[in-house]
Amino acid sequence: MSSQNQSQSQPQTQSLDALLNSGRKEEVFATIKGAVDNCLSETNLHLTVPDLKSKTRGKVRDIYDSGDYLVLVTTDRQSAFDRILASIPFKGQVLNETSLWWFNRTQHITPNAVVSVPDKNVTIAKKCSVFPVEFVVRGFVTGSTDTSLWTVYNNGIRNYCGNVLPDGLVKNQKLTANILTPTTKAEDHDVPVTPDEIIERGLMTQADFDEAREKALSLFDYGQRVALEHGLILVDTKYEFGKGSDGSILLIDEVHTPDSSRYWIANSYEERFQKGLEPENIDKEFLRLWFKNNCNPYEDEVLPDAPEELVCELAWRYIFLYETITNSSFEIPLTEEPIHDRISRNVLSALSSLQ
Beta bridge partners of 179: 138
User: What pLDDT is attached to residue 128?
Assistant: 96
Residue ranges per structural domain of the chain: 16-353
User: What pLDDT is attached to residue 188?
Assistant: 67
Single-letter code of the amino acid located at 257 = T
User: What pLDDT is attached to residue 10?
Assistant: 35
User: What pLDDT is attached to residue 285?
Assistant: 83
Which parts of the chain sit beneath pLDDT 50? 1-13
User: What pLDDT is attached to residue 283?
Assistant: 82
Beta bridge partners of 317: none
User: What pLDDT is attached to residue 14?
Assistant: 65
User: What pLDDT is attached to residue 2?
Assistant: 42
- How far is 232 from 223, CA to CA, in rounded Å? 10
Kindly report whether the global pTM for this prediction surpasses the value 0.85: yes
User: What pLDDT is attached to residue 3?
Assistant: 40
Contact 312, 33 (CB under 8 A): yes
Beta bridge partners of 78: 86
User: What pLDDT is attached to residue 1?
Assistant: 42
User: What pLDDT is attached to residue 146?
Assistant: 84
Contact 179, 137 (CB under 8 A): yes
- How far is 64 from 78, CA to CA, in rounded Å? 20
User: What pLDDT is attached to residue 215?
Assistant: 98
User: What pLDDT is attached to residue 355?
Assistant: 80
Contact 71, 122 (CB under 8 A): yes
Q: Residue 351: which of 123, 4, 51 has the closest Cα?
A: 51
- Find the distance separating the first CA and the last CA of the chain, reported in whole Å: 39
> For 16-353, which CATH class?
alpha beta
Class of residue 137 by CB neighbours under 10 A (exposed 0-12, middle 13-18, buried 19+): buried
